Amino acid sequence: MSEPRPRRSVRRTLPERKRIALIAHDGKKEELLEWATRWRETLTDHDLIGTGTTARRVADTLALPVTGLMSGPLGGDQQIGALITEQKLDLLVFFWDPFAPQPHDPDVKALLRLAALWNIPVACNAASADFLISSPWLTRSYEMTIPDAGAWIASRTGE
């Protein structure tokens, strides 16, 4: 019988220089920009990725390079999810707006699901982002476990 979920038995090491995704819903963009401005010096030591307008505004505000993806409603959240699945993202800072319904709520839920599945540290507000960005692990390599996707697929297909 196949297992209902993959075991976390594969080791992954996050590098010293982290790949950090920055995302904010419209009602939270200013808050994210204020947070990023406070942490600008720390963020300069890492690779930044963002969705749509957030990426552009962070790059303009901080004068730092930010790899821009599509806007969230146009697939940017799914692009971030793909980076998580491909193990090309190390931290997710996502200031989502609990008061505003989003047309792409299923995409947001899928993104957060992938972050949880692949053991990616996530911050959803300024306080959790402060804790995450000030962690001593931010500038060190960090070993963690992730799902053994290959073994799980093999158990489900009988291969």
- Give the residue numbers marked as catalytic: 77
Q: Is 81 annotated as a binding residue?
A: no
Q: Is 128 annotated as a binding residue?
A: no
d(C-alpha 45, C-alpha 38), whole Å? 14
Q: Is 141 annotated as a binding residue?
A: no
**Contact predicate 54/23, CB 8 Å:** yes
Q: Is 53 annotated as a binding residue?
A: yes
Residues near 92 by beta carbon (within 8 Å), at least 6 away in sequence: 20, 21, 23, 80, 84, 111, 115, 120, 121, 122, 123
Q: Is 85 annotated as a binding residue?
A: no
Q: Is 25 annotated as a binding residue?
A: yes
Q: Is 51 annotated as a binding residue?
A: yes
Q: Is 46 annotated as a binding residue?
A: no
Picking from 123, 148, 107, the residue whose alpha carbon sits closest to that of residue 18 is: 123
Q: Is 109 annotated as a binding residue?
A: no
17-49 CB burial, b ≥16 within 10 A, e <16: ebbbbbbbbeebbebbbebbeebeeebeebbbb
Picking from 133, 94, 98, 132, the residue whose alpha carbon sits closest to that of residue 113 is: 94
Please give the annotated binding residues, written as ranges: 25, 29, 51-54, 71-72, 104
Please give the annotated binding residues for substrate, written as ranges: 25, 29, 51-54, 71-72, 104
